[in-house]
Chain A
Amino acid sequence: MLVDALHGVRVLDFTWVLAGPYATRVLADFGAEVIKVQSEKTSQGAEYNTSGYFNTWNRNKLSITLDLNRPEGRELALKLVGMSDVVIENYTPRVMANWNLSYEHLKQVKPDIIMLSMSGMGQEGPWRDFAAFGPTIQALSGLTYLTSFTPDKPIGLGYSYADHVAGLLAALSILAALEYRDRTGDGQYIDISEYEAMCTLLGPAIMDYTVNHNYVMPQGNRPDYASAAPYGCYPCQGDDRWCVIAVFNEEEWHALCRVLGNPPWTKEERFSHLTQRVKHANELDELLGQWTAQHSPEEIMERLQNAGIAAGVVKNARDVAQDPQLAAKNFFAEVLHPVLGKTTFDTTPIRLNSTPGRFQRAAPLLGQDNRYVYRELLGVSEHELSSYIEDGIIG
């Protein structure tokens, strides 16, 4: 049997909320031993072990408790660092340094350690201590501005998308650092600014300013960079039902016209080729919308897709949960949680054919793996462990 991709990689995980846990989730899914360091105090909100959020972002991980405000707690943390390959944290800058757990400290204990810090603004710069959540990053990076129908009224995404982006870039950079360490024996420090991470996913829009000095406009549901028409979101039969349709070339346009039954307006000069259709996109949307409004989005998706046109149902959470394609690929997994019972979460879009991710383990309860980590891995005696627990260092 083949071993998991990250078999033998141990990650000491000081992250919380979403961006950090999302990064270590990827590593845990593919076989890394991720030890999440928690405490009674931090185990709240999204970090409350028996919440749906926690179960979704922290499956496949181990949990230990440790009070890092106590010198004995920090000593234990350093011992754990000594047995780890990767340390990752997403506190505000200075927190790890105040605990004497900065990279400089860590590499004295484990010279080839890979440490990654992720924060809103990065470890340096005039804004380094600024408070930032996902929405803050989205506003600053241009994503909120670009997600709108008009520059006068930004809308944005309404959820912390940037946390996912930063988490994925963190996972990628850790894998790259592991590759380098395997080759050379050297570890290193990685500084991720969620602000910069989000900006790199808006590259062409930012370059339109830095290179052309264009004042880039939000595109609404029009293509950001491609040339296509019709392209957009159209009303369908039913309450708040919508579909999207995207037509990139003449072949697809003719196929669309055939599905519509070749009504006379499709023959008009103003829609005769792509440049014309792009120019008259509003009128085109209006006419197409009159047709879509008479059909269900499912029917439109099926009929247009069968004609070779990119089209889709605008799916809400329930639709996504019941999506036939996602179901056929087992995208959502059911896992038994000791407290929550039967739970469901998304698996992964990274489908490795011979060593796929594993999704049988729910998120850990608080301190669930204290015995394994402290006794078996660290070799702390039964007596020492009891006194650590009694003193509240392991709580």
Chain B
Amino acid sequence: MQREDKAALTGLRILDLADEKASFCTKLLGDLGAEVIKVERPGGDKSRAMGPFWGNTPHPEKSLSFWHNNTSKLGITLNLDSEEGQNIFRRLAQRTDVIVESFPPGYLDKLGLSYQTLSEPNPGLIVASVTAFGQSGPYREYHSCDIVAAAVGGQMYVCGAPDTPPLKPGGEQAYYLASLFGAIGILLALRQRKQSGRGQHIDVSLQEAVASALEHVMVRHYYEGIVSRRQGSRHWNNSFCLLPGKDGYILLSPFMQWETLVELLDNEGMAADLKDEKWREERYRTQNLDYIIQILERWTITHTTAELFELGQLMRLPWAPVASPAEVANSPQLNARNFFVSVAYPEDNISLTYPGAPYKFSRTPWKIQQRAPLIGEHNTWVYAQELGFSQEELDGLAARKVI
């Protein structure tokens, strides 16, 4: 299918067998110009059951999660559990550069579709497997999902307040992290292939993906023997905290530019005793942070978060309001940079607003090639044009529920 020829990854063909754990992986590559063919089981992938739904009505063709994670892909259906389906898949795999899958370890093996088998006729093939715990090790057959990955990867334990249970970060971050690592792995393998002519297998685990994005947690453990604990809305080293304003919460830095901060409060007669000499000493401030926060809170509550944001940023303080998704959508900065993009749904004669590019390329623009595919939308194109099936054969495959 004709692709943007100025895109970074033009000419790269990917088969996407992944569910919600890794469908974002191939979206990243598709939006950079790769040709991604999503292979779903007949009736559609189970990730189409993920909410939220367009118009708030659950329906496999209205999942916003599916829509978001599957832009720039073509969609075909194929029953991999049938022998006929497996044979068709082998033919597709011979004409592809990359396969991304998220089945339990050993599943594709059992179907005779392992990396080893598929790469025999196509040595350049790259297969990326995104799984719960990886392809080997004692937990390899264990199940996972977003919250389990956040727990076993060490992220949840440090999130939440001392008086609440550990808290899972919002937005299924484990799946997105694993997808990012997978996409990087694919481009690394692709570059290696230029030198060796051979592809390779990439093993990404949700647990490791989460454990790789813990900032201070493991460093502090290994170098200082400290086990970080959750401390509510305060940053682990107390350099930030959330305080209430008139109309919401503001992120404040209680330690940076101390004199500027005290001056801001003092201008409004709200510095209390913070002007006293003893507070100039950083150690004293660290020891009495709760008191400082009390004074700050008395001040922030008299202002809107917009006022505090402006005031702080004027002083080069890294403050920010705690924005809801609605406020994100209305952000002057994001809108000035045309972050949001319009994605056409020609069959409904509408366009919907999507979050846009995570990066701006000067020469090879990121672009959503088209909306996520409908179930089996490109069956005819792929099976007839690419593999040369006749209409009669296609009808037969459909009747036997292979496609």
B359 and A179 contact, CB distance less than 8 A: no
Contact pick for B355, options A125, A171, A200, CB 8 Å: A200
A210 cross-chain contacts in B, Cβ below 8 A: 329, 340, 352-355
15 example contacts (A-B, Cβ-Cβ < 8 A) are as follows A3-B196, A139-B321, A146-B325, A154-B233, A159-B216, A165-B180, A168-B184, A208-B325, A210-B329, A212-B55, A225-B172, A233-B147, A313-B152, A316-B158, A320-B217
B145 and A248 contact, CB distance less than 8 A: yes
B64 and A211 contact, CB distance less than 8 A: yes
Q: Which of B295-327 contact A (CB under 8 A)?
A: 313, 316-327
Q: Which of A92-147 contact B (CB under 8 A)?
A: 103, 120-122, 124-128, 130-137, 139-147
Closest 7 A/B residue pairs (Cβ): A146-B170, A52-B223, A349-B208, A317-B221, A175-B187, A328-B137, A188-B363
In the complex, the number of residue pairs spanning A and B with C-beta atoms less than 8 Å apart equals 516
> With an 8 A cutoff between CB atoms, is B166 at the interface?
yes
A311 cross-chain contacts in B, Cβ below 8 A: 143, 148
A350 and B147 contact, CB distance less than 8 A: no
> With an 8 A cutoff between CB atoms, is B364 at the interface?
yes
> With an 8 A cutoff between CB atoms, is B398 at the interface?
no
Which of chain A's residues has its CB closest to B160's CB?
A: A155
> With an 8 A cutoff between CB atoms, is A326 at the interface?
yes
Contact pick for A159, options B133, B235, B251, CB 8 Å: B235
> With an 8 A cutoff between CB atoms, is A318 at the interface?
yes
Which of chain B's residues has its CB closest to A221's CB?
A: B168
B180 and A169 contact, CB distance less than 8 A: yes
> With an 8 A cutoff between CB atoms, is A148 at the interface?
yes
> With an 8 A cutoff between CB atoms, is B94 at the interface?
no
Q: Which of A212-242 contact B (CB under 8 A)?
A: 212, 214-216, 218-221, 223-228, 231-235, 240, 242
B8 and A177 contact, CB distance less than 8 A: yes
> With an 8 A cutoff between CB atoms, is A380 at the interface?
no
CB distance from B303 to the nearest CB of A (A): 16
Known: A5-B191, A201-B171. A328 touches B359 (CB 8 A): no
CB distance from A141 to the nearest CB of B (A): 6
Contact pick for B358, options A134, A200, A317, CB 8 Å: A200
B170 cross-chain contacts in A, Cβ below 8 A: 142-143, 145-148, 202, 205, 218-219, 224
In this complex, the interface size class of chain B, counting residues with CB under 8 Å from chain A, is 35 or more
A169 and B358 contact, CB distance less than 8 A: yes
B146 and A155 contact, CB distance less than 8 A: no
CB distance from B172 to the nearest CB of A (A): 5
Contact pick for A317, options B67, B227, B234, CB 8 Å: B227
A140 and B323 contact, CB distance less than 8 A: yes
B209 and A155 contact, CB distance less than 8 A: no
A176 cross-chain contacts in B, Cβ below 8 A: 8-9, 32, 187, 361, 364
B205 and A317 contact, CB distance less than 8 A: no
CB distance from B398 to the nearest CB of A (A): 27
Considering the chains assembled together, what is the distance between the CA atoms of A216 and B352 in angstroms? 17
> With an 8 A cutoff between CB atoms, is A157 at the interface?
yes
Contact pick for B54, options A52, A203, A212, A351, CB 8 Å: A212
Contact pick for A203, options B69, B136, B190, B205, CB 8 Å: B69
Interface pick from A76-84, A191-199, A370-378, A387-395: A191-199
A179 and B318 contact, CB distance less than 8 A: no
B354 cross-chain contacts in A, Cβ below 8 A: 203, 207, 210
> With an 8 A cutoff between CB atoms, is B349 at the interface?
no
Considering the chains assembled together, what is the distance between the CA atoms of A202 and B339 in angstroms? 14
B267 cross-chain contacts in A, Cβ below 8 A: none
B191 and A346 contact, CB distance less than 8 A: no
> With an 8 A cutoff between CB atoms, is B74 at the interface?
no
CB distance from B367 to the nearest CB of A (A): 13
B221 and A321 contact, CB distance less than 8 A: yes
Identify which of B176, B190, B323 gathers the most chain A CB atoms within 10 Å of its CB. Answer: B323
Interface pick from B85-93, B330-338, B375-383, B384-392: B330-338
B328 and A208 contact, CB distance less than 8 A: no
Considering the chains assembled together, what is the distance between the CA atoms of A234 and B10 in angstroms? 47
1/0 per residue A350-362: CB within 8 Å of B? 1111110000000
A215 and B326 contact, CB distance less than 8 A: yes
> With an 8 A cutoff between CB atoms, is B220 at the interface?
yes
Contact pick for A180, options B65, B159, B364, CB 8 Å: B364
> With an 8 A cutoff between CB atoms, is A246 at the interface?
yes
Which of chain B's residues has its CB closest to A146's CB?
A: B170
Q: Which of A1-27 contact B (CB under 8 A)?
A: 2-7, 18, 26
B161 cross-chain contacts in A, Cβ below 8 A: 155
B192 and A147 contact, CB distance less than 8 A: no
Which of chain A's residues has its CB closest to B226's CB?
A: A317
B177 cross-chain contacts in A, Cβ below 8 A: 164-165, 168
A233 and B151 contact, CB distance less than 8 A: yes
1/0 per residue B180-219: CB within 8 Å of A? 1111110111111011101011111101110111111111
Interface pick from A67-75, A262-270, A302-310: A302-310
Considering the chains assembled together, what is the distance between the CA atoms of A309 and B251 in angstroms? 38
Known: A131-B317, A316-B157. A202 touches B187 (CB 8 A): no
A5 and B337 contact, CB distance less than 8 A: no
Which of chain B's residues has its CB closest to A204's CB?
A: B65
B195 and A158 contact, CB distance less than 8 A: no
CB distance from A335 to the nearest CB of B (A): 11
A159 and B217 contact, CB distance less than 8 A: yes
A193 and B337 contact, CB distance less than 8 A: yes
B12 cross-chain contacts in A, Cβ below 8 A: 179
Interface pick from B44-52, B75-83, B269-277, B282-290: B44-52
A328 cross-chain contacts in B, Cβ below 8 A: 136-138
Which of chain A's residues has its CB closest to B215's CB?
A: A159
> With an 8 A cutoff between CB atoms, is A261 at the interface?
no
CB distance from A174 to the nearest CB of B (A): 9
